[in-house]
């Protein structure tokens, strides 16, 4: 059996297929165009030109920010680490006596949460901003945890588990009113919804190639003009002394092309995908009216759907759908396999039982209506079977 052919892939929030054009753009950089962009000879110059072209494409996709504000990294996780630790360390290098206070959202990805915890162990005070039942951190909720010595706020652009898009401009405005810089983890959002860091008041923004049709193992950090960060890796002077290490030229070229393609097709793709996501939810609710769609009353990413299904566990549902060749996840890929309930759903007020009964379905640009109809029918069928196995 050809599994790849039969599979319905609905786990794009974990990762997704690359744009074929982005793969094609990368290929020469593995062989004949192998130069190291830090060098001086011709292959190096060619590689450098291509890296700068990719930087321009990404800058353009971010509301035409200056290309020099884009710094290439190894992944979204590294961008988040560099934003938080790099900014705090830069402040400490001029004011070593002040540990400072930072705020992060309770529903952040571990890339931000664990970085904040590491800073906490290093003497920085950390507060956690609480979301409402839709996963939204309101400006009022942020104000509650701000302090006069808050130096940085990090709240994700959109959540990886439930898809909630945050009121970024308002959160950035609150941060600035306290003199803090505003970082947003846009790993799930970049390439899927329009983002303009300058208009929205974002100082630092993280993204990752593989979440928008680029390759894995490459990301970038936007750093607002004039903002100083300290490097977190010791080494060479690449990326204007901020990120040491030979640049991943094929990855950067592929990510740049993916950013361009997303920007060109975003409006049409988002409308189509959101329509299919809404259809999926309607179909499931029509047969299983006790299902709760998480973050339903918030602005959501177009492709995300988080469903809590009473009487089943998300893990069982994932396994049953997998037998039908349908790939989804329970909670988020990063925490599944973990026995703890999702910290995102818990922060939104769900009980442990509700957390364990939640699945995440994430559509991509290749998702079809037929796939959605099949998936909805299979969820209903398997939920009914699993419920019958429950003890009376």
Using rule CB under 6 A, residue 188 touches ligand PLP: yes
The pattern of x and - marking residues 206 through 245 that bind ligand PLP according to CB under 6 A reads --x----------x--------------------------
Residue showing the smallest CB distance to ligand PLP in the complex: 76
Here's the x/- map for ligand PLP, 312-341, by CB under 6 A: it reads as ----------------------x-------
Cβ 76 to ligand PLP shortest distance, Å: 3
75 flagged as catalytic: no
161 binds ligand PLP (CB under 6 A): no
For residues 80 and 130, the answer to whether their CB atoms sit within 8 Å is no
Q: Which stretch binds ligand PLP (CB under 6 A): 73-81, 176-184, 271-279, 354-362?
A: 73-81
CA-to-CA dists, residue 65 to 51, 213, 229, 267, 297, angstroms: 16, 21, 18, 20, 32
Least distance to ligand PLP, CB of residue 156, Å: 5
| Closer residue to ligand PLP (CB): 219 or 364 | 219
User: How far apart, in whole angstroms, are the C-alpha atoms of residue 310 and residue 343?
Assistant: 19
- 73 contacts ligand PLP (rule: CB under 6 A): no
The C-alpha atoms of residue 169 and residue 376 are separated, in whole angstroms, by: 36
* Residue found by looking up tokens 């961008």 in the block: 79
193 binds ligand PLP (CB under 6 A): no
Structure tokens at 79: 């961008």
Instruction: Using the Cα atoms of residue 358, residue 364, residue 366 and residue 369 in order, give the sign of their dihedral.
Output: positive
Site size for ligand PLP (CB under 6 A): 14
Residues found near ligand PLP in the complex (CB under 6 A) = 75-77, 80, 109, 111, 156, 160, 185, 187-188, 208, 219, 334
Residue positions annotated with a catalytic role: 334
């Amino acid at each position: 059996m050809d599994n790849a052919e039969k599979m319905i892939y609905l786990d794009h929030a974990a990762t997704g297929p690359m744009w074929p054009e982005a793969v094609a753009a990368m290929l020469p950089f593995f062989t004949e165009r192998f130069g190291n962009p830090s060098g001086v000879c011709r292959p190096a110059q060619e590689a450098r030109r291509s890296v700068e072209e990719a930087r321009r494409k990404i800058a353009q996709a971010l509301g035409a920010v200056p290309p020099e504000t884009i710094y290439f990294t190894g992944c979204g996780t590294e961008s988040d680490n560099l934003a938080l630790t790099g900014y705090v360390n830069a402040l400490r290098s001029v004011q070593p006596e002040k540990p400072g206070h930072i705020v992060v959202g309770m529903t952040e990805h571990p890339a931000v949460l664990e970085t904040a915890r590491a800073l906490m162990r290093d003497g920085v005070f950390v507060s956690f901003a609480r979301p409402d039942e839709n996963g939204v951190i309101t400006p009022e909720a942020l104000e509650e945890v701000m302090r006069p010595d808050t130096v940085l706020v990090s709240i994700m652009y959109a959540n990886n588990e439930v898809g909630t898009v945050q009121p970024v401009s308002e959160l950035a405005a609150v941060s600035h009113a306290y003199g803090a810089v505003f970082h947003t983890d846009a790993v799930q959002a970049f390439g899927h919804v329009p983002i303009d860091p300058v208009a929205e008041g974002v100082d630092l923004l993280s993204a990752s190639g593989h979440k928008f049709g680029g390759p894995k193992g490459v990301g970038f950090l936007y750093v607002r003009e004039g903002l100083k960060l300290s490097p977190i890796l010791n080494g060479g002077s690449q990326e204007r002394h901020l990120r040491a290490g030979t640049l991943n030229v094929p990855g950067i070229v592929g990510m740049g092309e993916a950013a361009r393609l997303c920007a060109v097709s975003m409006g049409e793709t988002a409308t189509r995908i959101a329509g299919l996501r809404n259809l999926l939810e309607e179909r499931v609710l029509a047969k299983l009216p006790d299902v709760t769609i998480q973050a339903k009353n918030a602005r959501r990413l177009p492709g995300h759907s988080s469903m809590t299904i009473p009487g089943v566990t998300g893990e069982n549902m994932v396994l049953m759908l997998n037998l039908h060749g349908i790939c989804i996840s329970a909670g988020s890929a990063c925490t599944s396999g973990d026995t703890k309930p999702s910290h995102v759903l818990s922060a939104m007020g769900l009980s442990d039982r509700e957390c364990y009964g939640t699945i995440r379905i994430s559509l991509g640009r290749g998702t079809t209506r037929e796939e959605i109809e099949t998936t909805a029918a299979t969820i209903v069928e398997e939920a009914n079977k699993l419920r019958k196995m429950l003890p009376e």
